Amino acid sequence: MSLNIYGSFGKASVDGLNVTIPLKAELSKKQREELLDLQELPIFHLVAEPANVKYEEESTIEDQQTRYHYFQDDKGVWQREEIEQTNLPLDGVPNYEKKSKTITADVVDDFLMSQKFEYDGDFDAKKALVKIADGYDYDEIAKELKTTTTGMLNELNKIRLYFAPFAAAWQEQKAEA
């Protein structure tokens, strides 16, 4: 049994060996049941990690215009298109610089579960993420996808990294609507 959720912590309190951490999260029925099962166990392993995806975005040095434009085509499929560069490189010096960006993994996962996109790979990220969100055990999901748990997590992280800028554009689009 494992429990994987996105959430945020409130202010923790420590009283001797008792630690109380308020957790704000939307839980599915299965996740609520597993959380209740966990509290009945004499001991469990808890790992909390930042849910951020850090990616790089290229922009022109001169005017800071991004190199790629992310959009939905007429069929609602998300695409990436390179923006035509108007500045010529001088003496082999690149016109682009990479800037580090961060987006939360839950936004990327929501994008991957709800949007249409094309990806050159055999791994079904949407299926994995939906099962994770529903509270299924990672080992069960990996077995169903005919991979290892580590392989599944590596593929998910690779896909999250690739689609992070798509998800950022999707998030901006939703905010403007």
Q: Which of 1-5, 18-22, 68-72 has the lowest mean pLDDT?
A: 1-5
In contact, 167 and 158? CB cutoff 8 Å: no
CA–CA gap between residue 63 and residue 91 (Å, rounded): 19
* Cβ-based neighbour number of residue 75 at 10 Å: 7
3-class DSSP state for residue 20? strand
* Domain locations along the chain: 1-49, 52-176
Residue 145 DSSP symbol? T
Block residue for tokens 């390179």: 82
Q: Pairing relation of β-strands 116-117 and 77-82?
A: parallel
- Given this model, what pLDDT does residue 162 score? 96
Interval 25-37: pLDDT, tens: 888 888 888 888 8
The answer to whether residue 6 scores a pLDDT higher than 90 is: no
Average pLDDT score over residue span 71-97:
83
Tens-place pLDDT, residues 37-70: 888 888 877 777 778 999 999 998 888 888 999 9
SS3 142: helix
